[in-house]
Every structure is written in structure tokens, then in C-alpha cells.
Amino acid sequence: MRQWWSVFDLAGKEDAISVMEREAAEPGYWDDHQSAQQKMQQLGRLKDTVTLWRGLESGSQNLIELTELALVENDSSLQEQLEAEFEALAKVLAKEEINLTLSGAYDDRSAIVSIHAGAGGTDAQDWAEMLLQMYCQWAETGKRPLEVMDLSYGEEAGLRSATLEVGGPHAFGYLAAERGVHRLVRLSPYDPNNLRQTSFAQVEVLPTSDDDPEVEIRSEDIKMDTFRSSGPGGQNVQKVASAVRLTHIPTGIVVSCQNERSQHQNREYAIRILKARLLARQADEKAKHTAGLRGERKAAEWGSQIRSYVLHPYKSVKDHRTNLQSTNPEAVLNGAIDEFIEAYLMTKVGE
């Protein structure tokens, strides 16, 4: 047992934690705030790793002792307890097996998720809003930090686009599995004849820049425009021009934010999104022959979807990359997407 656990070098990690904690207590540690912040994040990740595997070590030892006791006493209640503890430990191990696939350079960062309505008119805009709610519910269920950074409303209903930031462990690593085109088939609530409608939405996922030294934005490289934000139906909801549009002059990247009443807050969100897009652009340039961080961007229309959600004439959600299928689209649209994410991540092992 001891020899098996040593593969993870937990003792070495515990020594590193002690060294880093001593350094953090020294005067002047925070003089270089950015460096200190990065070290503290690394320290937090090390502590989480050690806590997890020490907990698994303790749990497995308890299982061995409980098994020996159950065999000796032949007590049915002990057997039930053994089964329950084994299932709990197996779930933790299965989850960690998924986490071990997340070894990309940015997998442990927060994720910026952008949803864009595609082909399908008002139904597609409504579909974009449904996807926003799905990801918000996924984050809330997992107790992940969540910020809605931008909402652009449709003329009649739904959203033209939405942008949110999701935090928590390996947020980008998990949500990167969601990038691509999502297709919805249902009876249209916006068609007077209630005909079946197919709608599309594009999901883009980027890692946050986390004050990455690779990403530098000079003030002279940014052009800022302001405008009044709009609400549902295209109505202007504010008399003050608090919405912000930033143009990065060297690259031509344009980012807008209008979700907050404060122009300052909208500008801060726009800067964060712009940094994430610049980071993705730099990564794409370093790996032109691969899909890069974004994956291959496809038009939001027929034949390019990664997942289909069918509400009529039958109920089904199917991921076209893994062929995983669910007959409970209501649960999926309420945020139960872990099995789809995990199935996709397991197909990437070894690539």
C-alpha cells in the first residue's frame, strides 16, 4: 500500500507545501503581487491534490479493515456499510480518473463561455438562452463561481449572444468539451402553426488569461466606444451610455459588454474577454496544424453539430462525437451534462 501511494510522491508534495508556506510568511513576499498570487494558486492546487489522495489512502485503508471485520463477524449491517463506502470511494476515484485527463496548459483555469445564436431565427435565439441556463445550472449544481458578463437580447425573444465566466477546479478543461455547434429539434413556440423547428447555437470556450505574462494589452492599442445597452425586444433600457465596445487595433478583435449598469464594470469584463481571446489567438499561432484551444470552428448550421437535443417527435440528447445518448433531455437542459463531458474527455486519452 505504502509503495503504491508513493507513485504519487505525496511526501514530496507535502515537503513542497511546507517550503512554500514558509516562503509566504517571509517579509516582502507580496512585493511582487503577480508572482505571489501565482505561487499561492500553485500552493492551493498542491494542497487540494494532497488532501484528495490522502483522503483516498485513508478511505481505502478503512475499507480493508471493514472488509476483514465483516468476514469475521458475518454481520449484514457491516456488509451494507462496506458496500456504501466502496461505492463512495469508487465515485471519487472515477472522478479523479477524469481529472487526470486534464493535463493541458490551461485546463485548470477558469473558462469564458460564449454562446451565439445560429441558423433558426427567433427559435435559435431562444435556444441560445436555453443553453445559457443549462451552463448556469451546471455551474450552480457544482458550486462553481459564475459571472454572467454579457447579454445581447434578441428582437422578439431569447439572446443573440451571451458570455459567462465559470470558475472552480479544471473549469476550462471540462467546459472545453462543450465547444462546438449544439442543435435543437422541437415544436416551435414561435410558429403560429406550431411546426417542428430545427435551431442551432455555437458555443465557444476560452481559458481566462489569469494575468498571463504572454498577454499584454497596451492602452494605446485599444479603441473604446460606448452605447446604450438594450433589453428584450431591442428596447434601450438605459439613458446613460454604459455599454462598452473595445476594439484591439493590432488584431481587429472586437469585444462588447452591456450586462452591467456601470460602464467601469462593463469595461473590466470586456478587458477580461479580450485577454482570453488574445491568449487563444497566440496559442493558435503556436499550433497552426492542430485544433488549438478553440477546436475547429464550424458554421452553426446543418451537419456541423457536436450534440443534438430532440424534444419532438421523441425525446433524446445525443453526442455525435461519442455516440452517448440520453432519453431525458429535460435533465440535460437543467445542467446534467457531466456524463457527456466525461465521455468526451475519456475519448481524448492518449491523443
Which pLDDT value is given to residue 98?
80
Residue 313: asked if its preceding bond is cis (omega within 30°), the reply is yes
Pair type for strands 253-257 and 159-166:
unpaired
Return the pLDDT at 314: 94
Length of the chain: 351
pLDDT of residue 287: 65
d(CA 158, CA 78): 54
What angle separates helix 338-347 from helix 76-99, to the nearest 10 degrees? 60
**Residue 258 exposure: Cα atoms within 13 Å on the Cβ side:** 24
Band of the pLDDT at 4, cuts 50, 70, 90? very low
66 to each of 58, 62, 258, how far by Cα in Å? 12, 6, 58
Q: CA–CA separation, 39 vs 245, rounded Å?
A: 34
3-state secondary structure of 317: strand
CATH 3.30.70.1660 residue spans of the chain: 106-351
Q: Which pLDDT tens digit goes with each residue over 100-115? A: 788 788 898 999 999 9
Query: 2-99: which CATH topology?
Result: Methane Monooxygenase Hydroxylase; Chain G, domain 1 (1.20.58)
pLDDT on residue 100: 76
Range in 41-45, 189-193, 196-200 the model is least confident about: 41-45
Is the model's pLDDT at 177 over the cut of 90?
Answer: yes
Does the pLDDT value for residue 97 go beyond 60?
yes
Separation between Cα atoms, residue 324 and residue 343, nearest integer Å: 7
pLDDT band at 250 (very low <50, low <70, confident <90, very high): very high
Output the CA–CA distances (angstroms, integers) from residue 161 to 103, 124, 241, in the order listed: 30, 10, 20
- Averaged pLDDT of the chain: 85
Domain 106-351 CATH assignment equals 3.40.50.2000: no
Q: What is the pLDDT of residues 7-46, one digit of tens each?
A: 467 888 889 999 999 999 999 999 888 788 778 878 887 8
Write down the pTM of the prediction.
0.75
Looking at residue 35, what is its pLDDT? 81
Domain with CATH 1.20.58.410 in the chain: 2-99
